[in-house]
Structure 1
Amino acid sequence: MKKQIDFKFKSPNDSPGYLLGQLTLLWQRQQKKVLDPLNLTSTQFVLLAALGWLSKKNSAVTQVDIANQSNTDRMMVSKVLRTLEKKEFITRTEHPSDTRAKVIHLTAAGAEILQKALTVIENIDIEFFSVLGDHLPPFNEYMSKLIELNKED
């Protein structure tokens, strides 16, 4: 006899987690299309963007800063930064005051590829989320709240 499976939601479209997962997969597919020609993965782009953003205010951005800004695992950040260093998009130098840390800098090639990636990604975001129209600001607010409330320290 088959065991009955009990779902809390009446249908997949009633499940916020399912919907978020589906939306994320579709959005990532769009990102992949525009990042592949730039020889970047989505994760590499996210970390370059975090570095670019943090570098606007801080001249000594560390791996930990990038991990915190991007809500990503520190070990994964380390591996991806090594790849970005091999691609000559970043450099890592000694931190002026913390001997355990490295300061991460965008190279000229890294800044150029980040600018190209930002342009195509921002255009994809505008197109992808355009269906929300005037609902985009509250949608962004709700997403920000969810991120903040569910962040692991």
Structure 2
Amino acid sequence: MTGLETAYPDASLSPGLALWRVTNAWQRAIRAALAPHDLTHVQFVLLASLTWMDRSEPVTQQDLAAHAGTDVMMTSQVLRTLETKGCVSRSRHPTDRRAYALAPTPAGVRLASAANADVEAADREYFGALDDDARAVFLRCLQTLEEPYRSRGRAR
């Protein structure tokens, strides 16, 4: 057996593997921050996104999925769970009979805000290893990597 064929002489030089490891470590920190709120990470992202979004126009499942960069069908499943938990309300869209207008309930807004405080604290701790300049560069790099996928309509 000759081993893995790879362009990298050392696994630590693979940006994909490094991103995988960092992402898993960060997700562990976020899961721990969200556990007291009885929210999964995706439930939090969708609830916080919905709470954040401007509702001067009705927000649809499609709008929310596009904003959060999530799959529409998965978004639908998570929204049903959030609705069961009393965090989200769905009503008929005023102009599109096929769609629902989404809104966080008052309890959902409170939960999103409380969970967000803990998520931001976890982010500060996790990303605290980077100074302000390094964090700004890191964020720009992430945005650069995401851009080709956003231009296709939704992050994949």
Q: Distance in 2 between matches of 1:5 and 1:108?
A: 53
Question: 1:95 is matched with which residue: 93, 96, 110?
Answer: 93
1:136 aligns with 2:152: no
Scaled by the length of structure 2, what TM-score is found?
A: 0.92
Structure 2: tracts of 5 or more residues without a match: none
Q: Distance in 1 between matches of 2:97 and 2:65?
A: 19
Scaled by the length of structure 1, what TM-score is found?
A: 0.93
Structure 1: tracts of 5 or more residues without a match: none
Query: 1:3: Cα distance to partner?
Result: 4.0
Query: 1:4: Cα distance to partner?
Result: 3.9
Identity %: 37
Higher relative contact order (CA 8 A, sep 6+): 2
Aligned residues: CA RMSD: 1.2
Amino acid at match of 2:114: K
Amino acid at match of 2:61: Q
Q: Distance in 1 between matches of 2:32 and 2:3?
A: 41
1:11 aligns with 2:5: no
Question: 1:116 is matched with which residue: 92, 114, 117?
Answer: 114
Alignment match, 1:82: 80
Alignment match, 2:24: 25
4+ residue runs of structure 1 moved beyond 4 angstroms? none
Deviations 1:99-147, CA, capped at 9 Å, x for gaps: 1110111001100100001100011111111111121111101101111
